[in-house]
């Protein structure tokens, strides 16, 4: 228990409203974890995997209606609509609280309310932040134990600090006396709410037990609420991986990279370089908190403690480090379950064992064409188990960043690599990231979706103000100390075929960026920015033709006319667009002769 009266008062107030049968304060111990997992196995929510194949690992299937983040039910409840901006679902905070209190009334009946003290960031870092999540889902507790620092030690920190972000979560499925539970309790979509109150730094989530809707430390706290803290306090909370890269001479640098969801951030963060003598190490695969420190350099910390990664297409070929991270002490949700008690998904690198159960609990006829694993099926694994984890991944100071990469999935238009002329030009690049979406994945219209800084679903305030914050951050230090900024696009195609091999061959691009950070390599100026001079990307041993390389850097005037129109349309949404970005767009038009 705690000595923090505010915390005790807050917990009691919510218990009165949600009326759980029991309140349990999580200490984060291994015994507690085993107890919860055993309980879920007994209730039928979890399956313990075969210990010989995958020690201490568990399998879960969600309700088919509760499989992903629901952007349409995610709300930013700021006092004024203007502060949520044109890209968020805004709701009046008092009205939202009134509506939600009705939903929360009695919602934990028949269940235990778990109190989870957690810390985003290393335990004793000045950039870390504390939170407490209430939840009625033991699945959430065991996932939060992996993805955040959680338990007794954090509670001791909360005892000595008045500041914690209060996070309330319920699956929204109370049980009447004698009513049997279901395997995955949740509420229907129209009763799901993922509500953020940026002014009072609160998160209220109701009705979903899955991923970012329920593990509130991740997208809700470390991105949406943290982005508002960062704006006020002069730092940055970003949807970025962090990696360390060492050249054959032993010199090391760190990069961060922002890509929209499902563009391979986890693969890039854990990449095994194909270039001899180079090494890549992982700090984080999804979120970076960035701050300028006394030496004028930008430092990054991964606020998370584990990975919550997309399973399909992860294999020993595409990402051996992720595969080894999930070899034990891992949780799997919505993948297939093999007859010998292991997991399977499309693209795991071997044929499906006969008799594998799909994520909906069915056994397929060979003619059945639905996937075994849901496209958004996930693994949860401790970062400490990743073979490529960086020795400094928990350094409370963070690591100094030399380059910032922006990217998306673009079959046309965008070159393989483009270097910004300066910080403001780089901010322009970040603010215009586009990525092709598939309708199947998130229920969005296929086509290019502008996802500025890959933060579209995750920025907790007006995105125009967020762009301005980026511009301001560039004034925090001397220009020569700012990281260089690049756009990359591994996904360019010709006649339906990828032009660049991607995956571990992306180390060739990272190596080029590394050298650019030392102001090495020959470059060429283009209307879009700076590209490598011919021959400056190491393609030794690659099966790639000169024509393919030219295609990868081609600037097609018609495509760019459309692109500029589309950026114009995108920018027109923002009444708070900083003048610097408007000027960058005008400059691009002039450079392109438009």
Q: Enumerate the active-site residues.
A: 263
Nearest-angstrom CA–CA distance, 516 and 357: 49
- The option from ligand OXD, Mn ion, none interacting with 33 (CB < 5 to 8 A, set by class) reads none
| Nearest C-alpha neighbor of 471 from the set 429, 508, 516 | 429
Residues 185-214 binding ligand OXD (CB under 6 A) are: 211-212
Region near Mn ion per CB under 5 A, out of 282-290, 309-317, 322-330, 387-395: 282-290
- The option from ligand OXD, Mn ion, none interacting with 73 (CB < 5 to 8 A, set by class) reads none
Q: How many chain residues interact with Mn ion (CB under 5 A)?
A: 1
Please compute, for residue 321, the number of CA atoms within 13 A of its CA located in the half-sphere on the CB side: 26
Q: Which residues contact 547 (CB under 8 A, 6 or more apart)?
A: none
What DSSP assignment string belongs to 371-393? Answer: -SS-TT-EEEEEGGG-TTB-TTT
Nearest-angstrom CA–CA distance, 347 and 329: 22
Dihedral class, residue 508 (left if φ above 0, else alpha if ψ from -120 to 50, else beta): alpha
Pick from 4, 57, 133, 261: which binds ligand OXD (CB under 6 A)?
261
Instruction: CB nearer to ligand OXD: give 454 or 504.
Output: 454
Instruction: CB nearer to ligand OXD: give 69 or 91.
Output: 69
Instruction: CB nearer to ligand OXD: give 11 or 375.
Output: 375
E strand or H helix at 254: strand 252-258
Cβ 434 to ligand OXD, closest distance in Å? 16
Phi, psi (5° rounding) for residue 338? -85, 160
Cβ 73 to ligand OXD, closest distance in Å? 15
Phi, psi (5° rounding) for residue 335? -95, -175
Nearest-angstrom CA–CA distance, 465 and 577: 7
Residues 404-463 binding ligand OXD (CB under 6 A) are: none
Q: Dig out the tokens for 163 from the structure.
A: 């500041």
Instruction: CB nearer to ligand OXD: give 69 or 103.
Output: 69
- The option from ligand OXD, Mn ion, none interacting with 407 (CB < 5 to 8 A, set by class) reads none
Cβ atoms < 10 Å from Cβ of 397: 14
Does 286 engage in binding with Mn ion (CB under 5 A)? yes
Q: Which residues contact 195 (CB under 8 A, 6 or more apart)?
A: 75, 77, 91, 96, 100, 203, 204, 205, 206
Nearest-angstrom CA–CA distance, 572 and 507: 37
Region near Mn ion per CB under 5 A, out of 162-170, 203-211, 245-253, 285-293: 285-293
The 3-state DSSP class for residue 488 equals: strand
Q: Which residues contact 66 (CB under 8 A, 6 or more apart)?
A: 184, 186, 208, 209, 210
- Confirm if 86 and 466 have CB atoms less than 8 A apart: no
- The option from Mn ion, ligand OXD, none interacting with 371 (CB < 5 to 8 A, set by class) reads none
- The option from ligand OXD, Mn ion, none interacting with 483 (CB < 5 to 8 A, set by class) reads none
CA 130, 134, 135, 139 dihedral sign is positive
- The option from ligand OXD, Mn ion, none interacting with 212 (CB < 5 to 8 A, set by class) reads ligand OXD
Instruction: CB nearer to ligand OXD: give 311 or 509.
Output: 311
- Confirm if 569 and 422 have CB atoms less than 8 A apart: no
Cβ 311 to ligand OXD, closest distance in Å? 12
Angle 233-238-244 (CA atoms, 0-180°, nearest 5)? 115
- The option from ligand OXD, Mn ion, none interacting with 291 (CB < 5 to 8 A, set by class) reads none
Instruction: CB nearer to Mn ion: give 238 or 286.
Output: 286
Cβ 456 to ligand OXD, closest distance in Å? 10
Cβ 376 to ligand OXD, closest distance in Å? 8
Nearest-angstrom CA–CA distance, 481 and 1: 46
The 3-state DSSP class for residue 46 equals: strand
Instruction: CB nearer to ligand OXD: give 170 or 261.
Output: 261
Cβ 324 to ligand OXD, closest distance in Å? 20
Does 342 engage in binding with Mn ion (CB under 5 A)? no
Cβ 552 to ligand OXD, closest distance in Å? 26
Cβ 40 to ligand OXD, closest distance in Å? 22
Cβ atoms < 10 Å from Cβ of 109: 17
Contact characters 209-248, ligand OXD, x per CB under 6 A:
--xx------------------------------------
- Name the residue whose CB lies closest to ligand OXD: 261
- Name the residue whose CB lies closest to Mn ion: 286
Residues 269-298 binding ligand OXD (CB under 6 A) are: 286
The 3-state DSSP class for residue 4 equals: coil
Does 306 engage in binding with ligand OXD (CB under 6 A)? no
Q: Dig out the tokens for 2 from the structure.
A: 């705690």
How far, CA to CA in Å, does 500 sit from each of 412, 522, 529, 584?
Answer: 12, 21, 20, 29
Cβ 212 to Mn ion, closest distance in Å? 8
Cβ 583 to ligand OXD, closest distance in Å? 31
Region near Mn ion per CB under 5 A, out of 82-90, 202-210, 283-291, 479-487: 283-291
Q: How many chain residues interact with ligand OXD (CB under 6 A)?
A: 5
Instruction: CB nearer to ligand OXD: give 261 or 305.
Output: 261
Q: Dig out the tokens for 250 from the structure.
A: 């032993």
E strand or H helix at 216: none
| Nearest C-alpha neighbor of 168 from the set 124, 126, 216, 119 | 216
What is the crossing angle of helices 30-43 and 138-147, to 10°? 140
Instruction: CB nearer to ligand OXD: give 359 or 514.
Output: 359
Residues 42-101 binding ligand OXD (CB under 6 A) are: 69
Instruction: CB nearer to Mn ion: give 308 or 423.
Output: 308
- The option from ligand OXD, Mn ion, none interacting with 342 (CB < 5 to 8 A, set by class) reads none
Residues that bind Mn ion in the complex, under the rule CB under 5 A: 286
Tell me which residues touch ligand OXD (CB under 6 A): 69, 211-212, 261, 286
């Amino acid at each position: 228990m705690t000595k923090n009266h505010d915390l005790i008062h807050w917990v009691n107030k919510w218990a009165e409203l949600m009326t759980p049968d029991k309140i349990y304060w999580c200490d984060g111990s291994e015994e507690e974890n085993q107890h919860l997992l055993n309980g879920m196995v007994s209730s039928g929510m979890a399956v313990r995997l075969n210990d010989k194949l995958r020690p201490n690992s568990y399998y879960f299937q969600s309700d088919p209606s509760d499989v992903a983040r629901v952007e349409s039910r995610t709300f930013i409840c700021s006092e004024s609509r203007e502060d949520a901006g044109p890209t968020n679902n805004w709701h009046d905070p008092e009205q939202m609280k009134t509506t939600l209190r009705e939903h929360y009334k009695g919602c934990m009946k028949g269940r235990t309310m778990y109190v989870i003290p957690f810390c985003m960031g290393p335990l004793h870092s000045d950039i870390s932040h504390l939170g407490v999540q209430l939840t009625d889902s033991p699945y959430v507790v065991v996932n939060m134990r992996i993805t955040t620092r959680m338990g007794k030690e954090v509670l001791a920190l909360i005892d000595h600090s008045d500041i914690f972000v209060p996070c309330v979560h319920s699956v929204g499925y109370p049980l009447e006396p004698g009513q049997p539970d279901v395997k995955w309790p949740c509420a229907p979509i129209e009763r799901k709410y993922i509500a953020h109150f940026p002014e009072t730094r609160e998160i209220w989530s109701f009705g979903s037990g899955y991923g970012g809707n329920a593990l509130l430390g991740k997208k809700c706290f470390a991105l949406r609420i943290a982005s508002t803290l960062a704006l006020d306090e002069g730092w940055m909370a970003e949807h970025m991986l962090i990696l360390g890269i060492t050249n054959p001479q032993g010199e090391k640098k760190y990069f961060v990279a922002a890509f929209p969801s499902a563009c391979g951030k986890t693969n890039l963060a854990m990449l095994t370089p194909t270039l001899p003598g180079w090494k890549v190490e992982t700090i984080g695969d999804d979120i970076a908190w960035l701050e300028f420190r006394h030496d004028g350099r930008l430092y990054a910390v991964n606020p998370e403690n584990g990975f919550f990664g997309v399973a399909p297409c992860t294999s020993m070929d595409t990402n051996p480090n992720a595969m080894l991270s999930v070899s034990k002490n891992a949780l799997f949700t919505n993948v297939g379950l093999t007859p010998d008690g292991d997991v399977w998904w499309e693209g795991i690198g071997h044929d499906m064992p006969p008799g594998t159960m799909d994520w909906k609990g069915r056994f397929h006829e060979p003619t059945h064409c639905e996937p075994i694993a849901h496209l958004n099926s996930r693994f949860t694994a401790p970062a400490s188990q990743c073979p490529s984890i960086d020795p400094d991944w928990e350094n409370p100071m963070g690591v100094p960043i030399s380059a910032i990469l922006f990217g998306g999935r673009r079959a046309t238009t965008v070159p393989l690599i483009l270097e910004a002329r300066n910080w403001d030009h780089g901010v322009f690049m970040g603010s215009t990231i586009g990525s092709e979406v598939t309708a199947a994945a998130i229920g969005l219209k296929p086509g290019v979706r502008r996802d500025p800084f890959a933060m579209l679903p995750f920025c907790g305030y007006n995105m125009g103000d967020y762009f301005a914050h980026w511009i301001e951050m560039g004034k925090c230090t001397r220009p020569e100390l700012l990281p260089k900024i690049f756009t990359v696009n591994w996904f360019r195609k010709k006649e339906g075929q990828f032009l660049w091999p991607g995956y571990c061959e992306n180390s060739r691009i990272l190596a080029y960026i590394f050298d650019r950070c030392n102001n090495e390599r020959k470059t060429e100026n283009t209307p879009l920015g700076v590209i490598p001079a011919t021959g400056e990307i190491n393609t030794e041993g690659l099966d790639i033709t000169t024509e393919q390389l030219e295609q990868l850097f081609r600037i097609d005037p018609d495509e760019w006319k459309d692109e500029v129109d589309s950026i114009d349309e995108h920018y027109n949404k923002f009444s708070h667009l900083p003048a610097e970005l408007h000027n960058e767009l005008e400059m691009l038009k002039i450079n392109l002769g438009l």
